[in-house]
Structure 1
Amino acid sequence: MEEVGSHYWRSLFTNMDYYYLTLTLMILSFLVSKLLFYFIVQKQHSKLLPPGPKQYPIIGNLLQVLLIRKNNSNALESFMNLSKTYGPIITFKLGTLTSISVYSPEIAKEVLQKNDIILANRRVPYTFFTAMKEHSKNSIIALPSSSTKWRVYRKACATRIFSTQQLDSTQILRKRKVHELLDFLHECYKKGEAVNIGEAIFKTMLNISSNSFISKNFVQYHDNGEKFKVFKDIAFGLTEESSRLCLGDFFPLLGFFGGRGARARTRERYAKLSAVFDGAIEERIRTRDLKADSSDCNDILDSLLDLVNEEGSELNRHDVLHLLIDLFIAAIDTTSSTLEWAMAELIHSPTKLHKLREELQQSLGKNGEFEESHILKLPYLNAVVKETLRLHPPGPMLIPHKANDDVELGGFIVPKNTQVVVNAWSIGRDSDIWANPISFEPERFLNSKIDFKGKHFEYIPFGSGRRICPGLPLALRSLSFILASLFYHFNWKVANGMNPEDIDMTCSYGLTMHKAQPLLLIPIPIKV
């Protein structure tokens, strides 16, 4: 009897082993056949693609790109150097993903203007899509430009959020937040404390955005506790995770096996941010229901809820949540990092700083009150902002586009579903376009018609075409107003006894370009 039972169990396990072995072989056969089919098709396409570095079987150029990105501070320069070998349009094969990089204004114009409709969509990163699936389907960043919801979002941005009327009505709020920053810097001066200026500006932009959106402060300047760390982690973390290379981006069938940590972190950060804005929306709706006059706050949330309540509106309450999340993520990190770069460049170049301070004092006097309306009357300030954006564009490689169909770029055929990346950092430092391209020279923009509104393709820090950054008007006001205020009211000394010319100007590569080392400064009030 025991022998019969033993034989039964051995037979069962043998059958199970056979079953699992068969299933495993079937799955492997399916994956291999899919990969072989893909690479056969891609080999046919590759004859029409732009040139590029040597590709290896299956992985293509993935290892080379990983090695370049690993050398963080020199990654952007390494990518730019490839264009000297292969030309202004380069093909990278990254597993199953074909990626085209563009390094010239002429081809950038083909991407962003001539073929704007075909190349208007985005390639959504695997981590972003899987960790925030619901948001990625409702995100102004990820939605296809042909969708009704994307057009509704863009219209809301143009008419309600970033319109001149809305920005004028909230300039008092921005001025109040900048004055809070100046008060904090005065306190640091009295205490003899050095300031991590990037962190201080980040808090300012965080509160400007939170007050503009929902009329609330998120952090206090003296608070470096848990609340500040949470918002800093959300703002930096979500953009950082989006720029990481993930297995699922290059081998979608294997995506489940990689990047679990990145997906978990992204999901957690998104849930925290969603809870903040979702709670604010619910609270505001209850408040508006109790009051006949719903204009108490006059912020972006009120404006969007007014739009939701309009007859025939195509915007709903959940759309408002997704739009606020996108705008928050986009606004904080990019603007604060650009301001830190501007501070570093000016202090690193005392003669340029002297010119700016001289313009401010001549225009405003020694006891003037700086207003946003003064910005247009300060040409050197505007030139400083433009030059900072040329050298340090907020997104060094613009958010990738995706081809909806086969398209011709630079005389080559780029197949459907190819990723197309415009390298704004390299274009802004091209010696064939710019004299002394790596020098900080605001003078190049004086008496120049070149601007950042997407019409001059040698200078596209905010992108161009239908996917140009919708927050450009607010970004420019914030950059100019905060920068002028900091230099109008303070002299600056580099901490730790360093000379201005010794400031570390290396960058940390990512979706947003940060300084590799924080800028530590001692504020010295001009009017003590």
Structure 2
Amino acid sequence: MAIDAHQALLLFLFLLLTWLLMKTRIFKKQNKNRPPSPPKLPFIGNLHQLGSLPHQSLWQLSKKYGPVMHLQLGKMPTVVISSAEAAKEVLKTHDLDSCSRPPLQGARRLTYNYQDIAFSPYGEYWREIRKICVVKLFSVKRVQSYESIREEEITNMINSISHHALSSPSSPVDLTEKLFALTASFIFRMAFGTSFEGSDFNHNKFNEVVHAAEATMGSFSAAEIFPFVGWIVDWLSGLNQKREKVFHELDGFFQRVVDEHLNPRRTKPQQEDIIDVLLKIIKEQSGFGAAMLTEKNIKAVLLNMFLGGVDTSAITVIWAMAELAKKPSVMKKAQEEETFRLHPAGPLLLPRESISQFKVNGYEIQPKTLIQVNVWGIGRDPKIWSDPEEFIPERFVDSPIDVKGQHFELLPFGSGRRICPGIYMGTRTVEHGLANLLYNFDWELPSGMKEEDINMEESTGLSLSLSKKTPLKLVSKKHLFA
């Protein structure tokens, strides 16, 4: 039986109304037990409530809306975790439910379409590439094999500071510059088998590119937050051009060092470097399932090493020395864990994306939700820490709390399936660097400066790491016994 236009219109409206009612019912069901949320604005959601230091803004909001808080960043649903208990639920109890990564454009471009460890979505490829890195690159045996390189680079730094102390006794040492040069030199030699000095990147250029890459990886693009129209903002702001510039600078550098390693006339060093290891796996291509490696995979892993290895170790020691300079009486009691608590190099763990629905603190978390764990905030939680803003290294004496991912009060390296695979290498570098600075020198403030004059502000803006805003400059006095 044929129907006329009027009946067709009524049928269409009936079906449309039915569909809208079903969607509304599903929406209400999904949001019935959603975590508390600050008031939102149309279109932008809660974006206006993120300040220049997002981890601090989120911490302040969590004090009002709770340790499990929902934010709407444009079209991107986000849950912020700000307590040890909630972090344990996400990273341990529901680790498998929340262990993927959101598809962020900066990460996609710089990692050759998620061919790395850190930003690769959860799945067979990620499991295989992580296995390669854990077994072949970051094992205790492998890290210990680079011990002589680390000691040489630390000795070079100590000798440089000693020379400065003798030639200019009252002139301060730029510890920020020294420590970034130390960690960059170590990573260069370990990864490439070559010295940082004399490479294609000079010191300033290298830091500039690394920090630009971190900013690109750590920030959202307008296209992710505002689908269909955000790309216009990204184009007008120059974000896409900046991203491409950073990518081509790093890609060109990585490709040159890979080509050098493939040169049959290359003189191989005694110590096998990371590129040698990865090229050997490519040649053999056995035992690693889905991760059939190419040069792009190597370059993506190298990117992770640079962003995860250079900045984080240097930043941690810089903050430790700054805190100690403010409290000379506790300088000899220093332990690196206290710095990891107050100044985690990454204030927010790399964002996770939920795979399936689960509950945290009784609240429903839907699939495809971006999850941020605010380790900076957890490290300042007065429910966990007495005098949480105070630097008290001795609080960890005889304490079972460590940084290995099993104590959710202290998570500088994350936890669960997505814990940083380079944790042993990172802690060794921090321990050795800080111990040598404290063993070889007494450190004083520049003439006329008081402890309260030390600038402890954090660098602003979205980034993977949390740098000190101003360089740390202290006067070194050589120990007689060192």
Q: Give yes or no for the alignment of 1:442 onto 2:393.
A: yes
User: How has the CA–CA distance of structure 1 residues 281 and 169 changed in structure 2, closer, same or farther, with 3 Å as cutoff?
Assistant: same
Q: TM-score, normalised by structure 2?
A: 0.87
Q: Give yes or no for the alignment of 1:127 onto 2:80.
A: no
| Matching residue of 1:55 | 40
| Matching residue of 2:9 | none
The separation in 1 between residues aligned to 2:261 and 2:449, in whole angstroms, is 49
Q: Give yes or no for the alignment of 1:455 onto 2:406.
A: yes
Q: Give yes or no for the alignment of 1:207 onto 2:185.
A: yes
Mean Cα deviation higher: 258-267 or 412-421:
258-267
| Matching residue of 1:238 | 213
1:126 shift after superposition: 2.9
Q: 1:335 aligns with which of 310, 313, 322?
A: 313
The separation in 2 between residues aligned to 1:277 and 1:126, in whole angstroms, is 21
Contact 1:38 1:96 in 2 (8 A): no
Q: 2:61 aligns with which of 78, 82, 99?
A: 82
Contact 1:392 1:425 in 2 (8 A): yes
The separation in 2 between residues aligned to 1:421 and 1:256, in whole angstroms, is 24
Gaps of at least 5 residues in structure 1 are: 1-36, 357-380
1:290 shift after superposition: 7.3
Contact 1:396 1:513 in 2 (8 A): yes
Deviations 1:322-381 (A, max 9, x none): 21122112111111111100111111111111x34xxxxxxxxxxxxxxxxxxxxxxxx5
| Matching residue of 2:274 | 300
1:125 shift after superposition: 2.4
Contact 1:349 1:501 in 2 (8 A): no
The separation in 2 between residues aligned to 1:349 and 1:387, in whole angstroms, is 13
Deviations 1:264-323 (A, max 9, x none): 222212222222222212211223x778xx673322222222333335254424222221
**What is the identity percentage for the equivalent residue pairs of Structure 1 and Structure 2?**
30
Q: Give yes or no for the alignment of 1:92 onto 2:71.
A: yes
The separation in 2 between residues aligned to 1:62 and 1:168, in whole angstroms, is 45
Contact 1:61 1:94 in 2 (8 A): yes
Contact 1:274 1:325 in 2 (8 A): no
The separation in 2 between residues aligned to 1:458 and 1:414, in whole angstroms, is 22
Deviations 1:196-243 (A, max 9, x none): 2111100110010000001112237xx9x9722221111111112333
| Matching residue of 1:375 | none
Gaps of at least 5 residues in structure 2 are: 1-21
SS at match of 1:111: helix
User: How has the CA–CA distance of structure 1 residues 253 and 127 changed in structure 2, closer, same or farther, with 3 Å as cutoff?
Assistant: farther
The separation in 1 between residues aligned to 2:286 and 2:112, in whole angstroms, is 24
Where do residues 273-288 of structure 1 align in structure 2 (5 Å cutoff)?
Answer: 273-287=250-264
User: How has the CA–CA distance of structure 1 residues 516 and 38 changed in structure 2, closer, same or farther, with 3 Å as cutoff?
Assistant: farther
Q: 1:272 aligns with which of 243, 249, 252?
A: 249
| Matching residue of 1:316 | 293
Mean Cα deviation higher: 228-237 or 466-475:
228-237
| Matching residue of 1:420 | 371
Where do residues 491-502 of structure 1 align in structure 2 (5 Å cutoff)?
Answer: 491-495=442-446, 497-502=448-453
Q: TM-score, normalised by structure 1?
A: 0.80
SS at match of 1:413: strand
User: How has the CA–CA distance of structure 1 residues 197 and 110 changed in structure 2, closer, same or farther, with 3 Å as cutoff?
Assistant: same
Deviations 1:112-144 (A, max 9, x none): 111111110011323333x44x61331212212
What is the root-mean-square deviation in Å for CA atoms of aligned residues?
2.4
The separation in 1 between residues aligned to 2:180 and 2:363, in whole angstroms, is 43
| Matching residue of 2:223 | 248
Contact 1:452 1:459 in 2 (8 A): yes
Q: Which structure carries more helix by proportion?
A: 1
Say how many residue pairs are matched. 450
The separation in 2 between residues aligned to 1:232 and 1:480, in whole angstroms, is 22
Q: Give yes or no for the alignment of 1:523 onto 2:476.
A: yes
User: How has the CA–CA distance of structure 1 residues 425 and 255 changed in structure 2, closer, same or farther, with 3 Å as cutoff?
Assistant: same
Contact 2:102 2:121 in 1 (8 A): no
The separation in 1 between residues aligned to 2:68 and 2:78, in whole angstroms, is 10
SS at match of 1:253: coil
Q: Structure 1: which 4+ aligned runs deviate by more than 6 Å?
A: 37-41
Contact 1:494 1:521 in 2 (8 A): yes
